[in-house]
Structure 1
Amino acid sequence: MAEKSKIVYTWTDEAPMLATHSFLPIVQAFAKTADVEIVPKDISLSGRILANFPQYLKEDQKVEDALAELGQLATQPEANIIKLPNISASVPQLTAAIAELQKHGYAVPNYPAEPKDEKEEEIRSAYAKVLGSAVNPVLREGNSDRRAPRAVKNYAKANPHRMGEWSSDSKTKVAHMSKGDFYGTEKSVTVSKDGQYQIIFKGSDGSEQTLKSLAPLKEGEIIDSSVMNLNALKGFVADAIAEAKAAGVLLSAHLKATMMKISDPIIFGAIVQTYFKDVFEKYADVFKEQDINPNFGLATLFEKIKGLPQEAEIKAD
């Protein structure tokens, strides 16, 4: 007897979550008439956290690593996966999910933002697999083909979207740094022979920190690097804020912190700290005592000052 055809239907945690769950019985009902089995797989943020930390869970709490399983399936010609929208988790979303799981009796470890020992380094590395766009690269094998079908292209050509009137006196402006950013400091080199490289940060006080340990390089490969000057960034942000206020326009910063996991949270933190410069300076000691990191945004800040004598004063400022 031939094996029944299967379609994998992914449980996720992105909106519209209710529609995702309520639509499943409908899909199953239609597929059943064609003798096709619909197999749900949990690749939600909470599901991925549990799958990465089985050693912390009771036997009846352990779950399969559905994402790893689907990653293998995606390489097979018979793969048929309905991947619904999923969260590209930021650190605040991750910590909120961890707290919720712990509240429900799952003893998963806390996320160590600044690891203090080897064990915390291992925990942080395990959580790194959950952060950001963890799902799409696995199911797409690192690729994404989003070309529009020919019929859609032809319709768009025959029915072009009519733009509104663009006024020449529009105040809209895209602000960008002119120096000290990744673009201005970028350097590339073609490797002349096989070798190794490492990345070391050298502080102005003479201290050194290894950011990346020795890794191989092959002849003919291109290695590229650039740096962002944090003071230059903060100066640029301050100027942009002042310019937006003077022009009476909305100020908006666009970042992809879930994909650019290292750089964008720091850039975001610099924007938050610059926008609320007076507050961060006035309450510097309180924020240091509460271990408040601007990279995590205002929600985390409000959570950490909750119940403090200065809470109302800080919010008022």
Structure 2
Amino acid sequence: MPKKVKSKAEKYWREFEELSVELIKEQFKMEPTLLHLTPAKGDGGYDAAAHFQLGNENSLDLTFKVLLEAKLSSTKKKIGLRTFAATLVIAHSNAAGALIITSNQLFSPQAFREVARFAQATHMQVRLIDGIAMATWVKNEYHRLESMGFSQELLNWVTISQNKSEKQRTFQLDLYANTNSRIKAELSIGTNKNGSLLPCEIIISEESVDLEPIIGQKRQLFVEDLIQCISSEAGIAVLEGGSGVGKSFLLSHAINSLTDSKRIASIDMSFMSTVNQLFFTVFEQITSIDLRLINSTYSKNKKSIIKILEMAIGAHQSYDIVEAFS
């Protein structure tokens, strides 16, 4: 029986994780108090955990946790969300302060959008270091990395896998618009003028959106009653009316008054016909992860997807209300 030949990704996956750790330590000046590389099997959904002890023996003891996920691919295909979606949920359920995802390939636009939505919802620092950024760093540090014991084959593969421009690349997108704000995301990948890597951090910004004023005391009183109803113990209100009478307008004002004390999600149920669709949509609003994108990955292992659901729901118990309309 012929011996199976390992791909480069299978051969160098652990060394690429160690290379990613070295990049983080050298470029971001991060010297963890404790660094743990997880085993190949049963890794818990991430490749490495770095713990930073804040303070000293005479002060308050605090720990900042950073998780790393390294994705080494033998193909030229862009890294999609499905590849590391579970890691996002696990990072948040493990109360990580930051998550760093590295790869020798580029990230897909969809992956950037979904990771940005996750960062906005969880307030977690997320950094995406793609193949071009990795190749740039390896080229600049090639001889030092070789002297540290990293194999020439891996270093050469990483540097030649991406032959595009090494200059700064900036990605911007509008995530979504709430009733009173517009959420945007920006990611800059590449190098500074001195050759060092940019932080590669997703920056979330919010622009306020002014609502048209409510005209008429009756409508104002109605909005106040709606707010009181939603804030009650039951927290359920049914808003009825014909098309064009202003239901969405009044609801927007009610939501605008509640955003300081509650997290609010808007769900359009007009295109939903099954309970599963509603479940997936509510889950996405709570975790900012589209479960439908990873469902096929875990469909053969129901225990895995149930575990992800348990951790995600446990990490978001503070979610207050969901606005649904049809």
Instruction: Establish whether TM, by shorter chain, passes 0.5.
Output: no
Larger Rg: 1
The TM-score range, normalised by the shorter chain, is under 0.3
What is the TM-score when the length of structure 1 is the normalising length? 0.25
Determine which structure has the larger strand proportion and give its number: 2
